[in-house]
Amino acid sequence: MNEPISDETLAHVAQTVLRRDMPLIPSGSIAGNALVVVIAIMTFLACLTAGGALLVARASEGWRSEVLRDITIQLMPRPGDDLDSLVAKAVSAASQAPGVDRVRAYSAVESEKLLEPWLGTGLDLSLLPIPRLIVVHMRDRTGGELPGLRALLARAVPQASLEDHRVWATRIGTMANAVVTLGAALFVLMIVAMATAIGFATRGAVAANREIIEVLHFVGASDAFIAREFETHFRRLGFRGALIGGLSAIGFFFGASTLSAWWSHSTGGEEIAALFGAFALAPTGYLGLVLVGAAVTLLTGYLSRTIVSRYLRGLL
Amino acid sequence: MEIYQRVVTTFLSQASKPPFDETGDRFAGARPKTRLKPPEAASLGHRSENALVRFENVGLRYGMGPEVVRDLNFSVAPQSFQFLTGPSGAGKTTLLRLMLLSLRPTRGTIHIFGKDARALKKDDLTALRRRIGVVFQDFRLLDHLTTYENVALPLRAMGRAESAYRAEVIELLRWVGLGDRMNASPPVLSGGEKQRAAIARALIVRPELLLADEPTGNVDPGLARRLLRLFVELHRLGTAVVIATHDLQLMDQFGFARRLVVGDGEVTIFDGVSS
């Protein structure tokens, strides 16, 4: 059994039966699996928060863009006025103003219909002084052409009033920004909670594997080598967790966008669509979720390396 | 490879023999009964600059407690062989840990490979440890790795490619009689097999200094003597060997070895008998 062995035999033994690729940090442990679950859940929630914030930001951009381009001209009926001719004059004046894309006047019937949600149907509204509305769609949203339009309108139809919705747009913009800021804050909190969980798990792993660290230390492994082994181990766990959490979040948004298309005409569907848009993340949004997963993986590796390096510095 | 061939040929030549008989008298003290020079005449160590390890007035205390070792003055010369002995709890393991620089003395100076340990940086320590082989009292094999991987660990830790050291490790494992246990993990190895795996791990880097803490503590006398012969052969091939043991009978079998007797926190040195 112990006579000298040939190189061929050595090569044969090595290639056929030798187990030699085991990681230095044991991979399968209950603590490791628990960490994967924690990272998966945290990544899922972080992606959900980030995706939600992106949806609201994108939807609010849409609202503000539309609201700021639209300007409403309001004509209050006064005794003796021929409202139709005043509307025609206002439409004519607005059409000539610079920066105006298109002008649309609501008819008397359309104006009355706007009151139906409040007053109900079947009422004779001819006795009420219902104002007539003209919607002017501007080419840009900056409001730079507004003084010109206002001046032109004042000359043509002095009793017309102009509403540029900026107060309203500012309010919904503030609300949307608050939601996005809240989403960003929640996202940061998730990441901090996750980093803390990873930190605890790494410290636990260092304590559980102290024997391995010391043996490696005394057989001549450098601190960088040991830290790298831990980083590899934890980055692998982080990747598994981030993959599960990230894919779940991507699946969630994909499913939600499909469902929202079905619900868009149902009760409440329009309100949800108003808040979140079509509930569909742009391709850059999905890319963002992938980046969150990648960042979680790298963060896991980096944190474990830092913690192990700190422990090793205290070891002679 | 030739180094291991010589070492292990000796080891294996003893393997088929029955354990040596234990008819010799046991004696209570750590002092040798064979023809050793008296302590007064013994040299207190090799003071030359090329000593691998040199202790000068070294003392160590834990916290605010009393000194567990004090005024240690000795050195370990290249290619020397010595037993570190003394009663249990006398401080043998502490002394080994001081030599391995896993403990810092509270006073005095330790020179290792000619360098003052106090001036060593972390990277220097790592480089020095690669010149030292250690056999721990409790083996300290990693249970999740195979015997092969455990023995290859120091080489892997140095960043060497597995293909570069594979043949070397397999050969050493065969030579220490673990050729058919390469894929076994430590929990299924016997005490003697673990011992040999631990020794193989210490030898794989061909250290200049080998520190072994009770390397024969868990094996039968026959195997103990064979393991000792392995160390002796290593010593003859140029490795300085320090073996901590309290097995007096075993030490008597190797009367040529220097003895560092630890007691009451101090070390008394008895030179060995030249053969």
Higher pLDDT, A258 or A16: A258
Q: Is B171 on the interface with A (CB under 8 A)?
A: yes
Q: Is B120 on the interface with A (CB under 8 A)?
A: no
Q: What is the 3-state secondary structure (H, E, C) of chain A?
A: CCCCCCHHHHHHHHHHCCCCCCCCCCCCCHHHHHHHHHHHHHHHHHHHHHHHHHHHHHHHHHHHHHHHHEEEEEECCCCCCCHHHHHHHHHHHHHHCCCEEEEEECCHHHHHHHHHHHHCCCCCCCCCCCCEEEEEEECCCCCCCHHHHHHHHHHHCCCEEEECCHHHHHHHHHHHHHHHHHHHHHHHHHHHHHHHHHHHHHHHHHHHCHHHHHHHHHCCCCHHHHHHHHHHHHHHHHHHHHHHHHHHHHHHHHHHHHHHHHHCCCCCHHHHHHHHCCCCCCHHHHHHHHHHHHHHHHHHHHHHHHHHHHHHHCCC
Q: What is the mean pLDDT of residues B231-243?
A: 89
Q: Are A196 and A204 in contact (CB under 8 A)?
A: no
Contact A220 B158 (CB under 8 A): yes
How many other CB atoms are there within 10 angstroms of residue B110's CB atom? 21
d(CA B269, CA B45): 8
Contact B153 A212 (CB under 8 A): no
| Percentage of chain A exceeding pLDDT 70 | 87
Q: Are A281 and A55 in contact (CB under 8 A)?
A: yes
Residue A208: pLDDT band with limits 50, 70, 90: confident
Q: Is B129 on the interface with A (CB under 8 A)?
A: yes
Contact A20 B148 (CB under 8 A): yes
Q: Is B126 on the interface with A (CB under 8 A)?
A: yes
Contact B182 A18 (CB under 8 A): yes
Among A2, A11, A17, beta carbon nearest to B177 = A2
Among A11, A219, A223, beta carbon nearest to B122 = A223
d(CA A315, CA B271): 35
Nearest CA to CA, how far is B17 from chain A (Å)?
16
- Among all chains, which residue has been given the structure tokens 């940090």? A25
Residue A65: pLDDT band with limits 50, 70, 90: confident
How many other CB atoms are there within 10 angstroms of residue B76's CB atom? 24
Token pair in block for residue B49: 């600059």
- Average pLDDT in chain B: 80
Distant-in-sequence, close-in-space partners of A212: CB < 8 Å, separation ≥ 6 = A24, A25, B142
Residue B25 has pLDDT above 60, yes or no: no
Among B146, B152, B174, beta carbon nearest to A2 = B174
Domain boundaries, chain B: 2-13+35-270
What is the chain A residue with the closest CA to B8?
A2
User: Residues 2-31, chain B: which have Cβ within 8 Å of A?
Assistant: 5, 8, 12
* SS3 of residue B249 by DSSP: helix
What is the chain B residue with the closest CA to A224?
B123
* pLDDT the model gives residue A314: 81
d(CA A295, CA B2): 51
| Percentage of chain B exceeding pLDDT 70 | 81
Nearest residue to A292 via CA among A9, A100, A50: A50
Residue B15 has pLDDT above 80, yes or no: no
Instruction: State the DSSP string of B160-212.
Output: --HHHHHHHHHHHHHHTT-TT-TT--GGGS-HHHHHHHHHHHHHTT--SEEEE
Nearest CA to CA, how far is A311 from chain B (Å)?
13
* pLDDT the model gives residue B26: 32
Residue B208 has pLDDT above 60, yes or no: yes
Token pair in block for residue B34: 């064979």
- Most confident option among A22-36, A285-299, B40-54: A285-299
* SS3 of residue B57 by DSSP: strand
Distant-in-sequence, close-in-space partners of A60: CB < 8 Å, separation ≥ 6 = A172, A173, A175, A176, A177, A179, A180
What is the chain A residue with the closest CA to B100?
A218
How many other CB atoms are there within 10 angstroms of residue A313's CB atom? 9
CA distances from A144 to A99, A157, A160 (A): 9, 21, 20
Phi then psi for residue A126, to 5 deg, are: -65, -20
Q: Is B155 on the interface with A (CB under 8 A)?
A: no
Which residues on chain A place their C-beta less than 8 Å from a C-beta of chain B? 1-2, 4-5, 7, 10-11, 13-14, 17-22, 24, 26, 211-212, 214-223, 225, 313, 316
- Most confident option among A19-28, B79-88, B220-229: B79-88
How many other CB atoms are there within 10 angstroms of residue A190's CB atom? 22
What is the chain A residue with the closest CA to B98?
A316
Distant-in-sequence, close-in-space partners of A260: CB < 8 Å, separation ≥ 6 = A269, A272, A273, A276, A278, A279, A280
* pLDDT the model gives residue B38: 44
d(CA B33, CA B56): 29
d(CA A19, CA B48): 46
* pLDDT the model gives residue A1: 42
Q: For residue range A85-133, list pLDDT tens digits in order.
A: 888 888 888 888 888 888 888 888 888 788 777 777 777 777 777 888 8
Residue B115 bridge partners (DSSP): B112
* SS3 of residue B259 by DSSP: strand
Residue A247 has pLDDT above 50, yes or no: yes
Higher pLDDT, B42 or A121: A121
- What is the number of alpha carbons within 13 Å of residue B54 lying toward its C-beta? 17
Contact A19 B183 (CB under 8 A): yes
Q: Please give the helix or strand (H or E) that residue B151 lies within, else none.
A: helix B147-157
- Among all chains, which residue has been given the structure tokens 């370990």? B76
* pLDDT the model gives residue B200: 92
pTM of the predicted model over 0.90? no
Among B103, B125, B153, beta carbon nearest to A219 = B153
Residue B254 has pLDDT above 50, yes or no: yes
d(CA B207, CA B214): 18
Q: Are B235 and B266 in contact (CB under 8 A)?
A: no
3.40.50.11540, 3.40.50.2300, 3.40.50.300, 3.30.70.260: which CATH number matches B2-13+35-270? 3.40.50.300
* SS3 of residue B272 by DSSP: coil
Nearest CA to CA, how far is B186 from chain A (Å)?
14
Q: Are A314 and A217 in contact (CB under 8 A)?
A: no
d(CA B114, CA A127): 111
Residue B22 has pLDDT above 50, yes or no: no
Contact A220 B130 (CB under 8 A): yes
Q: How many A/B residue pairs have CB atoms within 8 Å?
A: 97
How many other CB atoms are there within 10 angstroms of residue B180's CB atom? 10
Residue B17 has pLDDT above 50, yes or no: no
Contact B145 A22 (CB under 8 A): yes
Nearest residue to B84 via CA among B62, B102, B99, B106: B99
